[in-house]
Amino acid sequence: MRVNLLDFDAERLAAWFAGRGEKAFRARQVLRWMHRFGEDDFGKMTDVAKSLRAALAAEAEVRGPVPISDTVAADGTRKWLLDVGGGNAVETVFIPEANRGTLCMSTQVGCALECAFCSTGRQGFNRNLSTSEIVGQLWHANRMLGAVRQPGVGNSGERVVSNVVLMGMGEPLVNFDSTVAALKLMLDDNAYGLSRRRVTVSTSGIVPAMDRLRETVPVALAVSLHAPDDNLRDRLVPINRKYPLQDLMAACRRYLENAPRDFITFEYVLLDGVNDSDAHARALLALVRDIPSKFNLIPFNAFPNSGFRRSTPGRVRRFQEILMAAEVVATVRKTRGDDIDAACGQLAGQVRDKSRRGVSPRLTFSPKRSLEVI
């Protein structure tokens, strides 16, 4: 089987080239061709020696995920369903805005963490995505958006994808190594050259992995909080039983020592009558008292048999006001791409449904949260 070079970050690509007696700058050239210019044909990498091109074509490949569908919403939000083989598919959503373009990417097929209000969690875990499958989402989006630059044209001009959020399917910090390699490529000037302030990992709070992320590739961090006390969070975000709030808050403080932004973003899905009272808002303020933070209040997006309801607009406003009155920035996320169900994780691809073991794989459409813009 050929080696897929999209699986390698810069360091591993250089090592792979070195193992073949090739110089490091050759690896850099190929890295640029693949990621900056979106080239998947070694034959077209014109400044690479012909003999090397032939050797690469024999041994290696540049294989991104294969698109199954491409849908554009009325507001310009665009969603791709990408085949990742073995009957699995993941989704990637592009959200264009006046001053930025955000790509919402997945890191796993399904998720094992079973948060009560999340349809990806309900569907169970199938498998981790590889580095090529994660970074391949960005690779594919750039190609489709016409953002790949021509060699020699230079670096000026806006990148179409200026921001990345790992808020699609899966828990990025459970799939740590592949996610980190993909993050490194996103930041690498020879690949996507994104600013670390514009790349956000969203986590449900895998404490040891938050520390490792801080040490290896400290990008912007969003923490899915959803409850101000352990009792409630144990129910909503079961991983809290392993990493309770006190540990999570300590990990947030440590993260801030290396973070590219001087605050942590806390995500908070507002669930009617569950976590949306004035008392919950005040308890939240006490919880994050010594952590510079911003809140993203997310209106819950219902799915069949979720057992939860979205908080009323009045409740959302009131919750926001309580936080703002204490000078904590709190935004309510806008919903985008409604008409194409463009929620991160909404079209969950093909996952093994735990309740239907033995049933052959099928495409699972799960109406879930609408796509949110941070």
List active site positions. Answer: 91, 344
Q: Nearest 5°: phi and psi at 264? A: -105, 140
Q: Which residues, at least 6 apart from 233, have a Cβ–Cβ distance to it below 8 Å?
A: 225, 226, 227, 240, 244, 245
CB of 336 to ligand SAH, least distance (A): 13
Applying the rule CB under 6 A, the residues between 82 and 111 that interact with ligand SF4 are 111
Out of 115, 180, 199, 373, the residue judged to bind ligand SF4 by CB under 6 A: 115
With contact defined as beta carbons under 8 Å apart, do 243 and 211 qualify?
no
Q: Among the candidate windows 57-65, 91-99, 186-194, 198-206, which touches ligand SAH by CB under 6 A?
A: 198-206
- State CA 6 to chain mean position distance: 17
CB of 68 to ligand SAH, least distance (A): 21
Q: Among the candidate windows 48-56, 118-126, 245-253, 278-286, which touches ligand SF4 by CB under 6 A?
A: 118-126
Per CB under 6 A, 203 contacts ligand SAH? yes
Q: Among the candidate windows 47-55, 117-125, 158-166, 292-300, which touches ligand SF4 by CB under 6 A?
A: 117-125
Chain position whose Cβ is nearest to ligand SF4: 121
Burial of residue 307 (CB within 10 Å: 0-12, 13-18, 19+) is exposed
Per CB under 6 A, 36 contacts ligand SAH? no
**125-128 vs 163-166, strand pairing mode:** unpaired
Chain position whose Cβ is nearest to ligand SAH: 369
Residue 167 binds: one of ligand SF4, ligand SAH, none (C-beta under 5 to 8 A by kind)? ligand SAH
Which residue from 72, 196, 46 is spatially nearest to 145, judged by alpha carbons? 72
With contact defined as beta carbons under 8 Å apart, do 72 and 93 qualify?
no
CB of 299 to ligand SAH, least distance (A): 7
d(CA 223, CA 268): 9
Out of 17, 125, 300, 319, the residue judged to bind ligand SAH by CB under 6 A: 300
CB of 269 to ligand SAH, least distance (A): 4
The H or E element containing residue 84 is strand 78-85
Per CB under 6 A, 267 contacts ligand SAH? yes
Six-digit token string for 203 = 């986590």
Per CB under 6 A, 372 contacts ligand SF4? no
Q: Nearest 5°: phi and psi at 67? A: -70, 135
Contacts with ligand SAH by CB under 6 A lie at 115, 117-118, 167, 171, 202-204, 224, 267, 269, 298, 300-301, 368-369
